[in-house]
Amino acid sequence: MATQKDKITLYMFRNAFSTLVIAFVSFMISLISYYECSFVEAVQRLFLVNIYTTLYFLLLWLLDYMIFEISKIIYDTYESILTYKLCLILCIIAVIIYCVPMMDLFQWNFIFLCLFIALRQVKQLWIHKKRP
């Protein structure tokens, strides 16, 4: 039987892994686009060619994780007044970010992060609705 501490650890690991995937996919899209290379070469460029690129990737991942955790804290604090409108607003922000000219790494990263936060909030609203 899993204890509460084990559940929290698993939950935090799942969130960290999800934000890692978001940062990785964003970096892969950016590197493939910039260097016009294959996926394998982009992975090599990310992890083997330059330590600064790897550190930049890790910093972006930590930023994503912090933004996600802050959004969870805000959602849990104001859970009673939040509705699906906030999820719609996050999706609109993702579309606006797609239209705004900026470095494609940040563009894709924040689009995926907004959508991930919106999905998490939809899940929480759905679970909250199922509870009596």
Q: What is the pLDDT of residue 131?
A: 63
pLDDT tens digits, residue range 47-100? Answer: 999 899 999 999 999 999 999 999 988 888 877 777 778 888 889 999 999 998
Dist CA 31 CA 4 (whole Å): 40
Dist CA 50 CA 34 (whole Å): 15
55 closest CA partner among 17, 30, 23 = 23
pLDDT tens digits, residue range 27-48? Answer: 999 999 999 999 999 999 999 9
pTM of the model: 0.85
Q: What is the pLDDT of residue 121?
A: 86
Q: What is the pLDDT of residue 9?
A: 84
Q: How far is CA 118 from CA 24, 67, 109, in A?
A: 19, 13, 14
Looking at residues 11-24, what average pLDDT do you find? 93
DSSP state, 79?
A: T
Q: Could you tell me the two tokens for 115?
A: 């959508």
pLDDT-derived band of residue 1, with 50, 70 and 90 as boundaries?
low
In this predicted structure, the answer to whether residue 132 has a pLDDT above a threshold of 70 is no
Query: Where are any strands of DSSP class E within 10-69?
Result: none
